[in-house]
Amino acid sequence: MKRVWFLVLVAVLFTSCGYKPTNIYTKRVLGNSIYVKVDISRVDPQNSVLITDALNQAVITKFKSKLVSKEEADARLYVKLASVRFNPIQYDSNGYVIAYKTLVVLNTKYVDKKGNKEVINSSGDYDFSIEANSVISDNKRFEAIKFAALKSIDELISKISVRGVLDDKK
Tally of domains within the chain = 1
164 vs 123: CA distance, rounded Å: 20
Mean pLDDT is lowest, of 40-49, 85-94, 134-143, for: 40-49
Nearest to 76 by CA among 108, 106, 107, 98: 108
Asked if residue 1 is part of any domain, the answer here is: no
The H-assigned helical ranges of the chain are 2-14, 22-30, 45-61, 138-169
Residue 56 domain flag: yes
* CATH assignment at residue 54: 3.30.160.150
Domain assignment present for 160: yes
Domain assignment of residue 152, yes or no: yes
Alpha carbon 30 to chain centroid distance? 15
Enclosing domain of residue 156: 20-169
Q: Is residue 122 part of a domain?
A: yes
Q: Is residue 6 part of a domain?
A: no
Asked if the structure places residue 161 within a domain, the reply is yes
84 found inside a domain: yes
Is pLDDT larger for residue 170 or for residue 34? Answer: 34
| pLDDT tens-place string over residues 52-85 | 888 888 888 888 889 999 999 999 999 998 999 9
Which DSSP letter does residue 26 get? H
* pLDDT one-digit tens code per residue, 6-43: 777 766 666 666 667 777 888 888 888 999 998 887 77
Given this model, what pLDDT does residue 17 score? Answer: 62
Q: How confident is the model at residue 113 (pLDDT cuts 50, 70, 90)?
A: confident
Residue 163: pLDDT band (50, 70, 90) is confident
